[in-house]
Structure 1
Amino acid sequence: MREISRGRLGATIATAALFAVAGAPTAWAGVTPGDGTRETDTPKGDAKPDGTLSATAGGVVYDRSRNGSGSAVGPLAPVGNWTPPPCWYAPKYSPAEFKAYVEPIWSVDSTGAAWDASQRDRYVNGKPYTNFNLDKAGKGYWWDSYVDTSYPPGWDACNKPYFWVDKGAPPPADVPEAITPEILAKLAYAEIRVPATQVTLKPDGTSKVNLPTWAWLDKTDFRPVSVTASVPALGISATTTASPVSLKLEPGTADASLYPASGECPINADGSIGTPYEAGSADKAPPCGVTYRRATSGAPYNLKATVTWKIHWVGTGTPGGDLPDGTFGHDQQVTVQEIQAVNR
């Protein structure tokens, strides 16, 4: 009944009003805010085309100023079965906001008298909370669950009733989904956008059978990107950074040889991948590239170039760690022709 009456599917449309009453960020015991990893404390929202105004999901503020940008960017595909958290708990209501939100729900007949009475006992009549904790205004928050609508499996992991947490106190130990820097890091991972992998080819446009095609990526196009996620009301944050580490080439046909043979071109010391073609190198094996053994007939080959990004995070009060690598690829069409000999 709790899930239905509160409109769980709408839970990700958070209210920015929480932060208007939150005051200055307060750390949990042993955690100091302002360690330099949080890039913004300002709540952000977006106006959707239908006019709906939504705050950042789950009471979380995202700073995307160091993220990839432009029309060709896209999300990373994590290596393996990893997905961001499907749900988590974070502050949502001040005492007055909580009272204003739940009382109209209890007055709706569809929730049932028994359920309404049990809710009043829990939050008004001292079993265990009294009068919505109105006497604790400014001293803590009512916490609730939030869900990521992109990952519906697992929502039922966050089915606890609303609970109160005093400022400076950690959430209850029996709430493993309570927001932490590590959870913030995983949410930031889902927000990372990286540029499309448009490699430079030489020869470009049309290649020749049995002649190497050189491939490379300029270091200015592929640099680390990052997103910071924070909960200003708690003074916690995490920054997740994606750094390019290698380029994988897939020629689009079995009639081809790759350089290196694995097709994995590592990143160079200067941040570039591969080596630009220089005049006179047509017959040399490139550090990164492909040689096609058969000409295209009709449709060109689809050369797929995929960059692997290493993911690392740091957070408030913790050095962080690694998350699963992510990949993002791009297809390029390559036409291959036979070398024409001239007979005299």
Structure 2
Amino acid sequence: MRTVAGRSAGAAVLALAVLSLLSAPPAYADRGGRGPVGQTDQKADAKGDTVSVSVGGVVFDRSKNGRGDSAGALTAAADWSPPACWYAPKYTPEQLQKTLEPIWAAGSTGPEWDLEQRRRYVEGEPYKDFNKDKSGKGYFWESYVDRSFRPGWDSCDEPVFWVDQGDPPPADIANAISPEILAALAYAEIRVPGTDVTLAPADTTKVNLPTWVWLDRARFTPVSVTASVPLLGLQATATAEPVALRIDPGTADAVTYPSSGVCEIVDGAIGEPFTRGRADETPPCGVEYLRSSGDGSYPLRATITWKITWTGTGGAGGDLPDGTFGTTQTVVVQEIQSVNR
């Protein structure tokens, strides 16, 4: 962690973060402050769905994201999570002055901290008069914190620093915004549709009767989110594409087809719809309950695995960890009734 005039920069970051949180609109007060590209803004389509959000120094285009009440966020299949904090452009020289001077005037941070800040941003150690001689030629960068405050959210503790327009941030600044970081942030914004599967028989089935399971193609088309910092000309798109369905019958008294419970995509489809004349066939994707659910039901869990890829500025791209999303639906299983004559 860097120091400012011999003291930890943590106090500086904390004071700026507090002011940013207090000044941000309530709906987004949990994801950093305001500035040149950190200004919170959002746009909606004709249906009222939010398709573009500018927050945390990053613009998120959600127009190709999953929608609807059943849509949800992915859970990374590996021990992975997107950055808890990152650095991006935030202030012009004039904006930084308007941010810091009220803090100094309030005197709540103490004379020592105020003096350190004045030296750094006013007296030329290293910035003179908030770098106003470079107005229009760059921006002051600061850290942004993800709204979930994942572990490590406070690790971006560098004091506000200047970057000339067109130059990369200092090499020793970890988590400076980049296509790779934008891809990870876009991953966190992906929402995929719910995975209610179609069953035959539907809702109620019989003991020892194979139940066919399949997924409507229209419900599992690829979705994507693009994250960008237009001011820097950086962007990355994370795309989620379904690759498999896992079935958990909700009881040990059941068998799945295939036995692994994982139904792979075949010719663009997961499972096959049941049709008349196939009652004696083994379903390519399905479940067979071996015991009645009695007066209750079994919670059948259907989980889709989504493969995540990304592309970004300058031809960058690659794979990110697979993600999963599942939903539960109830299945009533009855004994087959027979009549002896």
TM-score, normalised with respect to structure 1: 0.87
Q: CA deviation at 1:103?
A: 1.1
Correspondence 1:43-122 to 2 at 5 A: 44-45=41-42, 56-122=54-120
Most deviating of 78-87 and 159-168:
78-87
One-letter identity of the residue aligned with 2:221: R
Is 1:185 aligned with 2:183? yes
Most deviating of 292-301 and 150-159:
150-159
Whole-Å Cα distance in 2 between the matches of residues 340 and 298 of structure 1? Answer: 16
Partner of 2:50: none
Whole-Å Cα distance in 1 between the matches of residues 110 and 273 of structure 2? Answer: 71
The Cα offsets for residues 263-304 of structure 1, whole Å up to 9 and x where unpaired, read as 0000122x2200110112122210000011111112100110
Other structure's SS at 1:333 match: strand
Whole-Å Cα distance in 1 between the matches of residues 298 and 59 of structure 2? Answer: 43
One-letter identity of the residue aligned with 1:81: D
Whole-Å Cα distance in 1 between the matches of residues 241 and 169 of structure 2? Answer: 33
Partner of 2:295: 298
Whole-Å Cα distance in 2 between the matches of residues 330 and 14 of structure 1? Answer: 35
Whole-Å Cα distance in 2 between the matches of residues 121 and 74 of structure 1? Answer: 48
Q: CA deviation at 1:151?
A: 2.8
Q: CA deviation at 1:319?
A: 3.1
- What is the aligned-residue identity percentage? 57
Whole-Å Cα distance in 2 between the matches of residues 77 and 328 of structure 1? Answer: 6
Partner of 1:322: 319
One-letter identity of the residue aligned with 2:223: V
Q: Structure 1 residues 116 and 148 mapped into 2: Cα distance closer, same or farther (>3 Å)?
A: same
The Cα offsets for residues 183-202 of structure 1, whole Å up to 9 and x where unpaired, read as 00111111100011110000
Unpaired runs of 5+ residues, structure 2, are 1-10, 22-29, 45-52
Report which structure shows greater RCO (CA 8 Å, sep ≥6).
1
Aligned pair count reads 314
Q: CA deviation at 1:71?
A: 1.2
Partner of 1:7: 17
Q: Please say if residues 13 and 159 of structure 2, whose CA atoms lie closer than 8 Å, have aligned partners that are also in contact.
A: no
The Cα offsets for residues 140-199 of structure 1, whole Å up to 9 and x where unpaired, read as 000000001303420221000010000100000010110001100111111100011110
Whole-Å Cα distance in 2 between the matches of residues 139 and 3 of structure 1? Answer: 24
Q: Please say if residues 57 and 146 of structure 1, whose CA atoms lie closer than 8 Å, have aligned partners that are also in contact.
A: no
Q: 2:173 aligns with which of 172, 175, 200?
A: 175
Whole-Å Cα distance in 2 between the matches of residues 4 and 19 of structure 1? Answer: 20
Q: Please say if residues 40 and 55 of structure 2, whose CA atoms lie closer than 8 Å, have aligned partners that are also in contact.
A: no
Partner of 2:139: 141
Other structure's SS at 1:179 match: coil
Is 1:274 aligned with 2:271? yes
One-letter identity of the residue aligned with 1:281: R
Q: CA deviation at 1:110?
A: 2.0
Unpaired runs of 5+ residues, structure 1, are 21-41, 48-54
RMSD of Structure 2 on Structure 1 (CA): 1.9
Whole-Å Cα distance in 2 between the matches of residues 71 and 149 of structure 1? Answer: 21
Q: CA deviation at 1:43?
A: 7.3
Is 1:18 aligned with 2:18? no
Other structure's SS at 1:119 match: helix
Other structure's SS at 1:170 match: coil
One-letter identity of the residue aligned with 2:213: A
Q: Please say if residues 222 and 272 of structure 1, whose CA atoms lie closer than 8 Å, have aligned partners that are also in contact.
A: no
The Cα offsets for residues 210-247 of structure 1, whole Å up to 9 and x where unpaired, read as 11000001211110000000001101000000000000
Whole-Å Cα distance in 2 between the matches of residues 46 and 78 of structure 1? Answer: 28
Most deviating of 310-319 and 164-173:
310-319
Most deviating of 172-181 and 99-108:
99-108
Other structure's SS at 1:327 match: strand
Correspondence 1:115-134 to 2 at 5 A: 115-134=113-132
The Cα offsets for residues 305-336 of structure 1, whole Å up to 9 and x where unpaired, read as 00000000000013311111110101111111
Whole-Å Cα distance in 2 between the matches of residues 44 and 228 of structure 1? Answer: 16
Whole-Å Cα distance in 1 between the matches of residues 78 and 152 of structure 2? Answer: 18
Other structure's SS at 2:96 match: helix
Most deviating of 193-202 and 279-288:
279-288
Other structure's SS at 1:103 match: helix
Correspondence 1:251-266 to 2 at 5 A: 251-266=249-264
